[in-house]
Amino acid sequence: MTHHILIVGGGIGGTMTANHLVNKLYPEIRAKKVKITMISNSPWHYYKPAFMYVAFNSFFRDELRKPQRSLLRPEIDFHVEEVTQFDFAANHVLCRSGKKIGYDHLIVSTGCLPAPEKIEGLKEAGDHFYQHAPARQLADKLASIEKGRIFITVTFPKTHNVPHQCGIAPIETTLMLDDLLRKRGVRDQIEIVYTYPTVAQLLRNCLFLQKDTCEVLPTIFEQRGIKHQRGFTLDRVDPSRNIAYSVEGQEENFDILMATPPIHAVEAVRNAGISQAADNEGWLPTDHESMKVLGLENVYVLGDTVDLPVSKAGGSCHSQSPVVVNNVASEIRHGRICDAYDGKVVAIAQMGLEDGMPLWYDYKVDVKPTPPNKLGGLMRKGFNRGVYWAVARGLV
């Protein structure tokens, strides 16, 4: 009987995992002992970190997407379907089309979604760059503002020790914003204020407040005249007055509110009934080392859907995916897992429009900042424009 591996989610985690599984299990696939299926709710694969660049008119839609089928090995059976229900007990998923798809191994890589509606007034008055349409809206505002105040604030998930999406992104966009306004010649007329919430101080893996980073970034902000403040937890926004209120009782006015919004898992994952996350966020309980969903022997999860204390970013998927691939292949061949995830995250932070900063950390070692420079910026550009697609195809 053919062993069926089902991958749900066509983002970077699911795509690279599917391609690497073909490489790892090629003899079994050729012999029709193993079959790999991927389902995604879109025929397109988006390079999601590039939405950040859309806000600065550096990327346009066709530069940051490719047909999902074009990124997959031909041995992978790909279908555009939206999963509406996970039935873990019966080993199948239900799709909106009515189709039922069974599996022997399931890999969940469905990402997360911005949920600004969770904070009163934020959807109406706030801007973010985690999706294409909001990033385009923000780009228009940043291209036209001549004077005033841009208030930047970060919101964390309510679930303990779960970071916001792409931990370094709010810092990256703040420095890119400073460069953009200087390039436009209006920086002296615009105040930039960056804030972080109180709850972040309880988390180990938030990039601004890790010890070494906390000693470096404030100095960079101060050199650029960017005001920064800890202990501002966004509570609500008054769109009519352009004022943001904090849980701590503060209020901040703005002309543009760049807010990292609340996030949650996709609806089917939230409704699966096994998440222990707060506020119906839906993160799947994940074994820190094996990447299995806790309590389910044949279900793995990676990327933004996990409840691990590591950044929800592609830099996490790049280290999680090989562990999932090795463990699934080892279970099929030997009946046991063989690999463990150490919490490693590797990335190149965009520190302004041109500079970049390589960074990495894991469960035991906090991020070690390196000096931002043009070489780092060139490396990031190379990744954005070409290396990412090679990674997705399983070539790197």
Is 340 contained in some domain? Answer: yes
Domain CATH for 372? 3.50.50.60
373 and 332 within one domain: no
Is 396 contained in some domain? Answer: no
Whole-angstrom distance, CA of residue 232 vs CA of residue 234: 6
257 and 149 within one domain: yes
Whole-angstrom distance, CA of residue 205 vs CA of residue 286: 17
Across 278-303, b (16+ Cβ under 10 Å) vs e yields eeebbbbbbbbebbbbeebebbbbbb
Whole-angstrom distance, CA of residue 48 vs CA of residue 25: 29
Is 86 contained in some domain? Answer: yes
223 and 155 within one domain: yes
Give alpha helix (H) positions in the chain.
12-24, 26-30, 51-54, 122-125, 132-144, 169-184, 211-223, 267-270, 314-334, 374-382, 388-392
Nearest to 384 by CA among 130, 66, 63: 63
Is 234 contained in some domain? Answer: yes
205 and 340 within one domain: no
Tens-digit pLDDT profile for the chain (396 aa)?
A: 899 999 999 999 999 999 999 999 999 999 999 999 999 999 999 999 899 999 999 988 889 999 999 999 999 999 999 999 999 999 999 999 999 999 999 999 999 999 999 999 999 999 999 999 999 999 999 999 999 999 999 999 999 889 899 888 999 999 999 999 999 999 999 999 999 898 876 665 565 656 666 677 788 899 999 999 888 999 999 999 999 999 999 999 999 999 999 999 999 999 999 999 999 999 999 999 999 999 999 999 999 999 999 989 888 999 999 999 999 999 999 999 999 999 999 888 898 899 998 888 899 888 877 788 899 999 898 988 889 999 999 998
377 and 252 within one domain: yes
Is 387 contained in some domain? Answer: no
Nearest to 59 by CA among 355, 381, 374: 381
Contacts of 268 (CB under 8 A, 6+ apart): 82, 83, 84, 85, 86, 93, 110
Whole-angstrom distance, CA of residue 225 vs CA of residue 227: 6
* Predicted TM-score of the model (pTM): 0.95
242 and 221 within one domain: yes
Is 127 contained in some domain? Answer: yes
Q: Domain range spanning residue 297?
A: 3-113+264-344
**Ramachandran class of 394: left when φ > 0, alpha when ψ lies in -120 to 50, beta otherwise:** left
Whole-angstrom distance, CA of residue 316 vs CA of residue 327: 17
248 and 156 within one domain: yes
Of the chain, the end-to-end C-alpha distance in Å amounts to 32
Contacts of 104 (CB under 8 A, 6+ apart): 3, 4, 5, 91, 298
Q: What is the DSSP letter of 336?
A: S
Is 395 contained in some domain? Answer: no
Is 352 contained in some domain? Answer: no
Give the chain's domain count. 2
At residue 203's C-alpha, the angle toward residues 199 and 206, to 5°, is 100
371 and 230 within one domain: yes
194 and 242 within one domain: yes
